[in-house]
A and B are shown apart, each in its own frame.
Chain A
């Protein structure tokens, strides 16, 4: 680990799904907070930001926006760590309490990543010595995804790639192709675990080292990333598709009219043949 220290932006998923099983929420949040503490304690220069996302909103848990801090040391711990714990707990509580029950859709992870990127960008411009901030984003996610935020995700990945920030992804439960693409594009690390009790161990073993150190570790080989696109008509993944030349919508069959941008296609004969063959 370099002596410069690094900025870790944790994006944690607080979907109500978490409360379905007993003890899950407890183990999960414990693991996240412990990992945040480990990051801060392992190097004096390390900095941290924690952003939570549920299906209603995204919120900065640390550094907290509501400033009411009691900086006294308790039970002999480092003040900073106590501060982090307090701040996260307070914000989380208000976030969970003032939720008005709506539809339980997917968590707004892409918004949280976007805010994280802006936070990193600001730290970079504000650094007086104008050193490069070694920043990375860690996404911990438990809920499933529907792909409704696709464009937001991709925009975030491409900008993260541009400013040289890796996005690490740790999933609990099921795989998510979209986040896997993000880790692959930005040079981060992707891993999916099945039991929530493994979370803390996995975080420490695989995600604690910074990107430069990670090359020297013997981590599990990355799986092949699925870069297929979903067609706009049936939302199924296709190997070969037809793309509208105006708006780049993907269709699995030849269609006479683009439903996205309403242009009528010049139906040449060869194109019709392809369409018929496929049927």
Chain B
């Protein structure tokens, strides 16, 4: 796992025999632990390094999730079944997706019995999708999937979106066949013309048709080997993809609603009108039509204004201004005695063999802080503690 994908052109079984155990080495006292820790650290860091890209991103994402619910999903190679396992992963994916892409929208389509059906429309409310996923757990998996029908359904709603949005389709495909009413190539051409990026995550084996679709539309195609790997592959789609060249840029009108004070009159919120909630006083007013919403972000149902708060926008800034990677230096070469962030005193030994230095403020951090800063925080406390660097965003 640690050393995979070094050369994507060659298949694993074509390459020479790998002696994976030789990478492990005992230290003077005969222990393997330092060597193993180092390897784990390297793998973690490499994943981070791969991510560096400050190209234009499609931040306003509209993603359709196409889920294969055919007979093939009943296979038990993922425990308990492919069906349950995938839905569980998707449950986490949806939550994380809305957390990381607050102004993006998601929709779910399933395909079974040679047909495709839209289960939830594009929306930025995670709860609806989660309910939908829950319902699917009870649905039987039967028949054959249809790639063409599913793509057509997604296409019918994605093609009308404004040109500044990033349109994506993520297919999770378990079957080895697809039963289509016509030529899938014709649909593929339409998909390509409408500038939609299609990615496929396969559960079984690589299919030529999927490879063709992803290659034509600029998406990614990957096959999972086990449940952990599947989760990893699906989670790769949390990050917004690079914006396609054909994408236009426009100004989008948004509203920043006021929070309602406690002394306001009780009212119904617009987002839960169907389930008849109790009257309450908490919520946010749309600044254009004063409709009330209990949770943000939302699209105003009355006037169609996109309602967000300032932190929602700021949450997406981390994709645009990523924190630069720290440079890795051996402990002996650094003058610092302890980690600038967590105050951990460096010990010459296993875990602190390398320390990490910010290129802007030259503060030194330990491995754990480096990972935490780049994965979660996305801003450097060293730069923020420097009077000159803190005023201009250090990471632009």
Contacts and interface: CB of A to CB of B under 8 A. Distances in A.
Contact of A115 (B60, B258, B287, B381): B381
Contacts of A133: none
Given A157-B311, A239-B255, A248 B381 contact: no
Nearest to B311: A154
Main SS of the interface on chain A? mixed
Contacts of A118: 339, 341-342, 365, 369, 372-373, 381
A249 B67 CA distance: 35
A149 interface: yes
Interface in B279-333: 287-288, 305, 309-311, 313-318, 320-321
Given A185-B311, A245-B249, A53 B385 contact: yes
B338 A227 contact: no
Given A122-B344, A158-B311, A227-B256, A114 B250 contact: no
B252 interface: yes
Interface string A236-275: 0011111111111011001100100101111010010010
Nearest to B380: A114
A115 B340 contact: yes
Contacts of B316: 248
Nearest to B377: A159
B239 to A, nearest CB: 16
A248 B254 CA distance: 11
A156 B377 contact: yes
Given A181-B311, A240-B254, A244-B251, A152 B372 contact: no
B299 to A, nearest CB: 14
Interface stretch (B178-186, B269-277, B387-395): B387-395
A43 interface: no
Contacts of A58: 381, 385
Interface stretch (B81-89, B117-125, B201-209, B259-267): B259-267
B251 A240 contact: no
A177 to B, nearest CB: 10
B368 A122 contact: yes
A251 B387 contact: no
28 contacts: A53-B385, A103-B387, A110-B384, A111-B382, A111-B385, A113-B381, A114-B377, A114-B380, A115-B381, A117-B381, A118-B339, A118-B373, A122-B344, A149-B384, A151-B317, A154-B317, A155-B314, A158-B311, A221-B262, A227-B256, A227-B259, A242-B251, A245-B249, A248-B59, A248-B316, A258-B249, A266-B248, A274-B253
B243 interface: yes
Interface of A: 53, 55-58, 60, 63, 65, 102-103, 105, 108, 110-115, 117-119, 121-122, 125, 148-152, 154-159, 162-163, 181, 185, 221, 224-230, 238-248, 250-251, 254-255, 258, 261, 263-266, 268, 271, 274
B190 interface: no
B309 A148 contact: no
A271 B309 CA distance: 22
A155 B377 contact: yes
Interface of B: 56, 59-60, 103, 163-165, 243, 248-262, 287-288, 305, 309-311, 313-318, 320-321, 338-344, 365, 368-369, 372-373, 376-387, 390-391, 393
B318 A155 contact: yes
Given A117-B377, A156-B379, A162-B376, A245 B338 contact: no
B11 to A, nearest CB: 39
A229 B249 contact: no
Contacts of A119: 341-343
Given A115-B340, A227-B310, A245-B165, A152 B287 contact: no
Given A121-B342, A241-B254, A266 B381 contact: no
A253 to B, nearest CB: 9
Contact of B164 (A113, A154, A245): A245
A225 B393 contact: no
Contacts of A225: 259
Contacts of A255: 251
Contacts of B317: 151, 154, 248
B387 A243 contact: no
B387 A63 contact: no
A119 B249 CA distance: 42
B252 A229 contact: no
A103 to B, nearest CB: 8
B385 A115 contact: yes
Nearest to B285: A239
A28 B341 CA distance: 26
Nearest to A126: B344
A121 B256 contact: no
Contact of B249 (A151, A238, A265): A265
B390 A110 contact: yes
B249 A246 contact: yes
Given A148-B390, A228-B258, A247-B59, 8 more contacts: A58-B385, A60-B343, A111-B381, A115-B342, A118-B373, A159-B377, A241-B254, A266-B249
A163 B344 CA distance: 19
Contacts of A102: 387
A149 B389 CA distance: 10
B311 A159 contact: no
B381 A224 contact: no
Contacts of A271: 250-251
Nearest to B392: A148
A121 B369 contact: yes
A82 to B, nearest CB: 21
B59 A148 contact: no
Given A221-B262, A241-B254, A248-B320, A227 B243 contact: no
